[in-house]
Structure 1
Amino acid sequence: MATKNLSILFVASEVEGLIKSGGLADVAKALPKALSTLQQDVRITLPAYQKMAGIEQAENLLETQLEHWPHTAYSVKALQVDGVSVYAIDCPQYFDRPEMYAENNQAYSDNGERFAFFSAACLDMLPKLGFQPDIVHANDWHTGFVPYLLKHRYGQAPFFANTKSVLSIHNAVFKGVFSYEELQVLPEMHTRYAPDAAVSHTHVTMLRAGVLNADKINAVSPTYAQELKTELGSHGMAAEFQQRSSDLVGILNGCDYSAWSPQTDSFLPVNYKANRQSMVRGKKACKRELQQRVGLEQQDVAVYGMVCRLTNQKGIHYLLPILSEFLKHDVHVVIVGTGDPVLASQLKEIEALHSDKFSFVEAYSNELAHLVEAGSDFFLMPSEFEPCGLNQIYSMAYGTLPIVRGVGGLRDSVNDYDEDPDNATGFVFDAPEPAALLNVLQRSLLLYAQQPNEIKRVQLYAMGQNFCWNKAADEYLALYHSATRA
């Protein structure tokens, strides 16, 4: 059956290539780009942050104000990212600040108001720009009010009669909890009565507003979609996700290999491809460079890399109690990341005791992240929860075997060696405890030490996996069409 091409407004709080803090930005660039390749009319909108690339020179498309109270003045600037049109919503009182969400680890006190305004403005601008989307695709709590306003404010508006909403859940631990007082920028909140957004008499959560009002909801992996229906996996919103379960699907994120390919990666001393000779030579050179860069002796030992935010979500608290024990083996461990200062100081203490085998680099470095992916034999992702995860996919592309906990997108993308050696792409453990992580680390090391040819076979097989965005984009299109028929 031939389906018509759709017009889509993709609403996100950050977009790779313009401004980024995490994985949401990667999706917000790559998915619209993949949809545009499929001949869909897709446009992106995000706030016009002060630090955004190209914002100073951007053409002004629109000078206006909200049609609804409080009639806040704003303008819309035109940008592009990889050929996709971008509408940046400029409102200096909200977005002309040094950072996106927080300074010095303190969230801006008016974040609720800022992103409620953004949600209102990105719908307000559409009739004025003459862009009438079939689908408005919102992402995470920042844009949770988009489906809410589409239904409550614009439910009877002829312009939006055929517009449906989709909400993607990238990480449900962040919900956007605010009091009615903090959301006075929306007249809908003045009555202090919003049952499909409220979590108490005084507070609403923007994520709940989105989940209960979007036409369709998706999670960024099939397993995460299932986890959201549980108390543990949803961080307290299981009832809402269960209520919407017939409209909830899981679609595994794709990977933008243009930035993550060992064949073209400009951060590597030697590029390599998925044949044995090239891979062995390339990874050896990258390992040497990595060891030198982080101050470890250049040796032929198993290297275990990890690049992440230092948070419990990433499973650092499973690693800390067993790291010294694991370092008794003939291994090198390299961890790169910033975050929780307590976790950082614990890693530094272990490094001081084992500086010949363990290097902790407290930094956010894109160059070093690429070098760790290429120069390691194994990549650690023992996450407490992981909606999708991208580093396990990057790791496979570099012939570096991911060691993951079987949650969310990690479960959906990595095949465990002991479960299915022929189709293995890494190692998976399940129990959320340090002993289980130590066990899987030792399993991987045993294979590395005793069967070097088998390790290389698995590495090559992992390099052959393909998680490109085309497949994910097809699944999103199917989701959009199901929304338009709803």
Structure 2
Amino acid sequence: MATENLSILFVASEVEGLIKSGGLADVAKALPEALLELKYDVRITLPAYQKISGIENAPVILETKLSHWPHTEYRVRELSVAGVPVYAIDCPQYFDRPEMYAENNQAYDDNGERFAFFSTACLDMLPKLNFKPEIVHANDWHTGLVPFLLKHRYAHDAFYAEMKSVLSVHNSVFKGVFSYDELQCISEFHGRYAPDAAVSLTHISMLKAGVLNADKINAVSPTYAEELKTELGSHGMAAEFQARADDLVGILNGCDYSSWNPETDTLIPANYSADLDSMVKGKAECKRSLQERAGLDIKDVAVYGMVCRLTNQKGVHYLLPILSRFLKYNLQLVIVGTGEPALAHKLREMEALHPDNFKFIEAYDNGLAHLVEAGSDFFLMPSEFEPCGLNQIYSMAYGTLPIVRGVGGLKDSVNDYDEHPDVATGFVFMEPEPMDLLLTLQRSLLLYAQQPEEFRRVQLHAMQQNFCWNKAATEYVSLYRQAI
């Protein structure tokens, strides 16, 4: 099989530019785009959710049914994103719903069956579309059954026999655990025996099925790859990751600078570049605009921003206990996000206590996210765990210093000011403790207030960092070649 010009099918449950809930979607657009630029034949597949704009008008290129039991009927519609062909698997009983995974914080009760079907269909369609990829690149639990099916169902089928699978682990906390009863659309589970997927006598984990059957596995940062081999870092799957340690690598996600670049960003009031004069003027205008939008006084103080899902993973529970003490200083804080109602409630209570310098905006708003990145001086990411993280990379591009906990991709991408002042790009704390976060926030405020010139030097250095996808894509190509 020729490997000079690799062919890759990228299988994901969401893709930025079509539909998105988190960082997986960013990778599912940017990595195929970078592979296309390197002249590889790459195509994406995802479910044809009703929320995808224009999905009902996308041309149908295949009308068929699964060749294997239960012979479910489906269609394939063709879209494209950033020049990459996209195959949307259209099966109304599974995907013609208002949301991707859940409504009102309640997961759809047939999610196991929905994504089991999706994993089956994206392999089933290949000979019918006459596309024979050398690599099938699956992502997270939703597509964990893709490597499993290649090994179990298709190992002796001439069309599939040489296909290799790669599984990217973006977040191992979500394992896709379902009972055999929920997965009867996969005939391999009818015997209720699947040791390379089972987590109990009655349940399997789609993530485990992927990890134990993929030819190669990657985590989305080198530190996260190491963390996955520990009970804490893998959330209870250390044995599986240890068993595959020789095939597990960490590749730090790149950044899609076409969307996140202060020189060209159309969502911010002033564009600016990594030049002292331009940065100072541009950020000042963006700060005024952010203060106005958030309803804060327009004044020259340190502005701290945070945009995140409201979950403990994002470290909101490290911030809440020390927030009142921190807000006694002369500074402003803007938090934007949606998520767990209890955390939102606590943030609203905190805002009521500190209305003059803290605003909590309960929204998922891309334009506002860009304004927070550009208008803040510091960006908060005190995560409990963070496989890669992208906002710290966006922040640096905008001259906004990230304040992060030293885990996963945050540790791999941010240099702490006190540890490495010459090459600093932000502030890092290690202990999962509110007080450690408070001390780090105080360190950042001291730099801002007492050494303005030094603060600007660090800002400029942060802006000069480059986490382009080209480098990451080259590492992925090397992983694909190892798999082959």
- TM-score of the aligned structures, taking structure 2 as reference length: 0.99
Partner of 2:95 in structure 1?
Answer: 95
The answer on 1:377 being equivalent to 2:373 is no
Q: Deviations over 1:34-72 (max 9, x none)?
A: 001111100000111111122111111111111111000
After TM superposition, list the pairs within 5 Å mapping 1:84-483 onto structure 2.
Answer: 84-483=84-483
Equivalents in 1 of 2:264, 2:243: separation in Å?
A: 46
Helix, strand or coil: the match of 1:334? strand
Structure 2 Cα separation of the partners of residues 167 and 270 of structure 1: 40
User: Does the CA contact (< 8 Å) of 1:137 and 1:165 recur in 2?
Assistant: yes
**Deviations 1:445-480 (Å, cap 9, x if unpaired)?**
011111000000000000000001000000000000
Say whether the 8 Å CA contact 1:256–1:469 is kept in structure 2.
yes
List structure 1 segments (4+ residues) > 3 angstroms apart after TM superposition.
Answer: none
2:51 partner letter? K
Partners of 2:348 and 2:44 in 1: how far apart?
A: 42
* Contiguous gaps of at least 5 residues in structure 1: none
Give CA-to-partner distance per residue, 1:227-278, whole Å, 9 cap, x none. 0000000000000000000000000000000111111111111111110000
1:15 is matched with 15
Contact 1:168 1:220 in 2 (8 A): yes
> Any idea what the Cα deviations from partners look like across 1:152-211, whole Å, max 9, x if unmatched?
000000001210000000000000000000000000000000000000000000000000
Read off the aligned partner of 1:195 and give its amino acid letter: P
Look up the SS of the partner of 1:160 in the other structure: coil
- Counterpart of 1:181 in structure 2: which amino acid? D
C-alpha displacement of 1:11: 0.3
Task: Specify the code of the residue in structure 1 equivalent to 2:178.
Answer: F
Write the letter of the residue equivalent to 1:315. Answer: G
- Residues in 2 aligned to 1:112 and 1:347: alpha-carbon distance in whole angstroms: 34
Tell which deviates more after alignment, 49-58 or 39-48.
Answer: 49-58
User: For the residues of structure 2 that align with 1:317 and 1:324, how far apart are their CA atoms?
Assistant: 13
SS in 2 for 1:112: helix
SS in 2 for 1:199: coil
Matched residue SS, 1:290: helix
Secondary structure of residue in 2 paired with 1:482: helix
- Which residue number corresponds to residue 67 of structure 1? 67
Equivalent residue for 1:29?
A: 29
3-state secondary structure, aligned to 2:56 = coil
CA distance in 2, matches of 1:195, 1:291: 56
Aligned equivalents of 1:179 and 1:255: distance in 2? 37
| SS of structure 1 residue aligned to 2:217 | strand
Work out the CA distance in 1 between the residues paired with 2:121 and 2:348: 46
In terms of mean alpha carbon deviation, does 132-141 or 262-271 score higher? Answer: 262-271
Q: Distance in 2 between matches of 1:42 and 1:265?
A: 28
Alignment of 1:69-84 (within 5 A): 69-84=69-84
Deviations 1:91-124 (A, max 9, x none): 1110111111001110000000000010011101
Code of the residue aligned with 2:226 in structure 1: it is Q
Q: Which amino acid aligns with 2:452?
A: P
How far did residue 3 of structure 1 move?
5.8
Number of residue pairs the alignment of both structures matches: 483
Distance 2:456 2:388 in 1: 26
Q: In structure 1, what is the Cα distance between the partners aligned to 2:239 and 2:126?
A: 33
Letter of the structure 1 residue corresponding to residue 23 of structure 2: G
Cα distance in 1 for residues equivalent to 2:402 and 2:187: 49
CA distance in 2, matches of 1:146, 1:477: 20
Aligned-partner SS, 2:57: coil
Shift of 1:333: 0.7
Cα distance in 2 for residues equivalent to 1:130 and 1:75: 15
Q: Secondary structure at the match of 2:459?
A: helix
Distance 1:39 1:261 in 2: 25
Question: What secondary structure does 2:422 align onto?
Answer: helix
Q: Secondary structure at the match of 1:158?
A: coil
Instruction: Indicate the SS of the match to 1:133.
Output: coil
Distance 1:339 1:426 in 2: 26
Please say if residues 54 and 79 of structure 1, whose CA atoms lie closer than 8 Å, have aligned partners that are also in contact. Answer: no
Give the Cα–Cα distance (whole angstroms) in 1 for the partners of residues 405 and 466 of structure 2: 21
**Counterpart AA for 2:131:** F
Q: Distance in 2 between matches of 1:86 and 1:309?
A: 28
Aligned residues of 1:17 and 1:53 also touching (Cα < 8 A): no
Q: Secondary structure at the match of 2:159?
A: helix
Partner Cα separation in structure 2 for residue 189 and residue 171 of structure 1? 25
Q: Percent identity?
A: 77
CA distance in 1, matches of 2:94, 2:442: 50
Q: Distance in 1 between matches of 2:401 and 2:273?
A: 16
Does structure 2 conserve the Cα–Cα contact (< 8 Å) formed by 1:45 and 1:122?
yes
Residues 402-424 of structure 1: per-residue CA shift (max 9 Å, x gap):
00000000000000000110000
> For 2:159 and 2:371, how far apart are their aligned partners in 1?
50
